[in-house]
Amino acid sequence: MKTDKKEQTLFDHVGPTISTDRDITIVSKFEEPLIVVLDNVLSFEECDALIKLSEDKLQRSKIGATREVDQQRTSSSMFFEENENDVVALIEKRVSSIMNIPIEHAEGLQILQYKPGQEYKAHYDFFASTSKAANNNRISTLIMYLNDVEEGGETTFPKVNVSVTPKKGSAVYFEYFYSDQQLNDLSLHAGAPVIQGVKWVATQWMRKQRVRS
């Protein structure tokens, strides 16, 4: 007999809200792989501050171990250093409680900007098992939306038919640390092309082991 027992998840919050220094609302949940839409993750002031702090530092996004510019990802981006300023420090703390992973496992917060026509084609956030980075692989992601997008720019999970519309201050969380690799493979996702307006997001990736001292 096949037992459909669900696998343990990293995200362990129960009930409709997560209490951090802000009360974060759980808007919706897709169960396996776990994909959670969250509201009230960032204040509008924090969204504006992150955009302002990163605006002058944006560069064409690079991907993979070779850090090459690629058609896969046409956005512009930058990384904050850990604890780079008070806004980032407070957000990192909050994000760590949402993701239920110690801050020492967090990569630097990444800011992405997409203009009309720009996108991030379907990909996995974890590194291929053949890659050196897989020794301390990513296990979960939180994508925070820093503005409303006029048209387009949804985060889509094509294998499970989930689509999340950017909304200023809200976020989508997902994880891919299941022992069943088939579940991890369902976390394939994309940033759909922006049609009208600009899209800004902040992405937090967590690693299995610590990356900060």
Ligand X SMILES: O=C(O)CCC(=O)C(=O)O
User: What residues make contact with ligand X under the rule CB under 6 A?
Assistant: 112, 120, 125, 143, 155, 189, 191, 201, 203
Minimum CB separation from ligand X for residue 201, in Å?
5
> What are the structure tokens assigned to 22, written together?
């802000």
Q: Does 125 bind Fe ion (CB under 5 A)?
A: yes
Query: Which residues on adjacent β-strands are paired with residue 163?
Result: 156
Nearest residue (CB) to ligand X, 35 versus 201: 201
Q: Name the segment binding Fe ion (CB under 5 A); options: 27-35, 44-52, 125-133, 163-171.
A: 125-133
Alpha-carbon separation of residue 65 from 44, 111, 131, 134, 168 (angstroms): 34, 19, 8, 11, 31
Residue 193: contacted member of ligand X, Fe ion, none (CB under 5 to 8 Å, by partner type) = none
Q: Which stretch binds Fe ion (CB under 5 A): 50-58, 77-85, 101-109, 118-126?
A: 118-126
Q: How far is the CB of 141 from ligand X (least distance, A)?
A: 6
Among Fe ion, ligand X, none, residue 143 binds (CB under 5-8 Å by kind): ligand X
Structure tokens at 68: 């090459």
SS3 42: coil
Quick one: which of 190, 188, 35 has its CA closest to 26? 35
The entry of Fe ion, ligand X, none near residue 191 (CB within 5 to 8 angstroms by kind) is: ligand X
- Contact partner, 155, from Fe ion, ligand X, none, Cβ < 5-8 Å per class: ligand X
Cβ proximity to Fe ion, 10 vs 89, nearer residue: 10
CB of 112 to ligand X, least distance (A): 6
Distance CA(130)–CA(76), nearest Å, equals: 27
How far, in Å, CA of 122 to CA of 137, rounded?
A: 19
Task: Name which of 176 and 178 has its Cβ closer to ligand X.
Answer: 176
Name the burial class of residue 161, with classes exposed (0-12), middle (13-18) and buried (19+) by CB atoms within 10 angstroms of its CB: exposed
Q: Is 53 or 122 the residue whose CB approaches Fe ion more closely? A: 122
Closest CA to 115 of 200, 198, 201, 202: 198
Binding site for Fe ion (CB under 5 A): 125
